[in-house]
Structure 1
Amino acid sequence: MTRSSVRTVAILDDVVTKLIAEIPDMPAELFPENPAAYRLNHPKGALLLSFPGSQFDALVRSGQNVPAKAGCSRPQARTIGLTITVVLRQLNGRDGAVDALDDVRDALRGFRPSGCRSDLEFVAERFLGEMEGNWQYAVDLVTTVWDGAAAQT
């Protein structure tokens, strides 16, 4: 099996590392595999990164210009979605969830994970609700790669 050069896990690791470096007073980690059992231990909150999926651009096939060959594959443009769930014990104020959303945008604005073709782009912020005294928002982002390419340019 041939692996594509850009691995999704490496992109997730890069984003978590960037969040830790830029927002050192709050833990950043991958979204828990069992959210119902997740326990928020930090007194302020946490930033939880997840991968909701990707979109792929259609390959352009020009008939005579690109003859079909057995075993021939071409790189395909892939837009990778990421979601950061901001979980905080306080909603408003200097250490609240709304302030943390600004921190996340400041930390990731202009950041390009290794192997990606584009900087992270913000798509949306959504209020998810309050659960057991913890306020939750989601920050949706995207970046692009050439899936299956030997190297990103």
Structure 2
Amino acid sequence: MNPPANTQTEHLMDAMLARLQADFGDQLMVERFPENPQQYRLNHPRGAVLLAYGKSTFGHTQSTDATVQARHLVLRLTLIFRQLNGQDGVISHLDRLRACLIGWYPPNTDQACHPVSEQFIGHANGLWQYAQDYATRATQLQTMPDQHGPVLKRADFKEHP
């Protein structure tokens, strides 16, 4: 049995992670938000960008025979840095991350990424933490079981005189 394909959310997160790693991977640690945040340790000399799924909200269904909805997704970046200001600081990287993601169309979406919020989380043990939330839109479709028999795979048409 084949393993299941990535879900819509996983596929979107993989694409955003790849984009961030391509643009920032040589400067920062870029990875998914840890399963156990209390045990997370920043090992990079400058900082880290951690990607997490935030939330989704759904529009009204757009069809009478199946569920078709706009899905508004929010993905969160948590920035953990050793420095607040300057070229290596978190403030500079907030701006750089925005420049990287604003206007980018993740796969299988119909709206470019745009920021929705940005906030200071705190300062502890010499580390500065900020969060950025980015939104995009995809379509949520109902999975339709095969109710009408096999799918037509080939049609031969013959002309009648």
RMSD, aligned α-carbons = 2.1
> 1:128: which partner in 2?
121
Q: Which residue of 74, 96, 107 maps to 1:103?
A: 96
Maintained 8 Å contact 1:6/1:115: no
> Deviation at 1:60?
4.9
Maintained 8 Å contact 1:78/1:146: yes
* Deviation by residue 1:86-133 (Cα, 9 ceiling, x = unmatched): 110001111001011011011112111111111101111100011211
**Off by >6 Å, runs of 4+ in structure 1:** none
Say whether residues 1:116 and 2:109 are aligned partners: yes
Q: Which residue of 21, 43, 52 maps to 1:50?
A: 52
> Deviation at 1:149?
6.8
> 1:138: which partner in 2?
131
* Deviation by residue 1:11-67 (Cα, 9 ceiling, x = unmatched): 011111111111231121110110000011110010001112100012257xxxx4x
> 2:71: which partner in 1?
78
Bigger radius of gyration, 1 or 2? 2
Distance across 2 between alignment mates of 1:56 and 1:26: 34
> 1:13: which partner in 2?
14
TM-score (structure 1 length as normaliser): 0.84
* Alignment size in residue pairs: 139
Q: Which runs of 5+ in 2 are unaligned?
A: 144-161
Maintained 8 Å contact 2:78/2:131: yes
Q: Which runs of 5+ in 1 are unaligned?
A: 67-71
TM-score (structure 2 length as normaliser): 0.80
| Greater CA drift, 102-111 or 137-146 | 102-111
> Deviation at 1:73?
2.2
Q: What letter is aligned with 1:32?
A: P
Distance across 2 between alignment mates of 1:104 and 1:30: 16
> 1:89: which partner in 2?
82
SS of the residue aligned with 2:15? helix
Distance across 2 between alignment mates of 1:127 and 1:135: 8
Distance across 2 between alignment mates of 1:109 and 1:58: 26
* Larger RCO (alpha carbons 8 Å, 6+ apart): 1
Distance across 1 between alignment mates of 2:48 and 2:131: 12
Distance across 1 between alignment mates of 2:114 and 2:34: 24
Q: Which residue of 40, 43, 53 maps to 1:41?
A: 43
User: Within 5 A, what are the aligned runs for 1:54-69?
Assistant: 54-60=56-62, 66=64
> Deviation at 1:74?
2.4
Q: What letter is aligned with 1:28?
A: V
